[in-house]
Amino acid sequence: MSTLPSDIERTEIGEIQIAPEVIEVIAGLATVEVSGVAGMSGGFAGGIAELLGRKNLSKGVKVEVGQREAAVDVSVIVEYGFRLPEVASEIQRNVKRSIENMTGLNVVEVNVHIHDVHFKTTERVDDVEFSHRVK
C-alpha cells in the first residue's frame, strides 16, 4: 500500500493536505477503541506476532489514499473470548466512521487482519506470602 500524500485540496484561503500518517493514526485509535482488541500487530516477526502499545498505533495500519477515497488495512491482536467476526466488523465500522468524519475522505474498504489471540496471564501466588508462615 502506498502512503504518498494525497492531492492537495485548494480552498479560497489556502491549501489543505492530510498526510497519510494522520489517517493511519486515526485508524489505529479507532481500532483500539473496539472492545476485544488487545492491541495493534506489527505483523509476524519470526512467526510471532508482536503486540504493540498505544504509542505505536500506526505500525499496524497501512493506508492507500487517493484524491477522495482511502483504503485501510489494520493488523490486530484480539483478546481471547471475543467472537472474532464481531470484533472485526466493529473495527471496520469504527475505522470507516472515524476517518470519514475527521477527514471527509470516502473509505472504500477496511481490511482487518487478525494476527493473534491474546490470552490473559493467570496470576501466580507470590512466594512472599509464604515467607510469613514460618518465623
All structural domains of the chain: 9-131 (3.30.70.1350)
What's the pLDDT tens digit per position in 82-121? 999 999 999 999 999 999 999 999 999 999 999 999 998 7
Rounded to an integer, what distance in angstroms lies between the CA atom of residue 63 and that of residue 60?
A: 10
**Dihedral sign, CA of 25, 30, 35, 37?**
negative
Compute the distance between CA of residue 4 and CA of residue 20 in angstroms, rounded to an integer: 7
Cα distances (angstroms) measured from residue 84 to each of 23, 52, 60, 131: 24, 19, 17, 44
Stretch (H or E) spanning 132: none
pLDDT of 15: 86
pLDDT value of position 47:
37
Q: What is the pLDDT of residues 24-83, one digit of tens each?
A: 999 999 999 999 999 898 754 433 444 544 456 678 999 999 889 999 999 999 999 999
* pLDDT score, position 113: 96
Does residue 2 or residue 47 have the better pLDDT? 2
Residues 21, 32: Cα–Cα separation, whole Å: 17
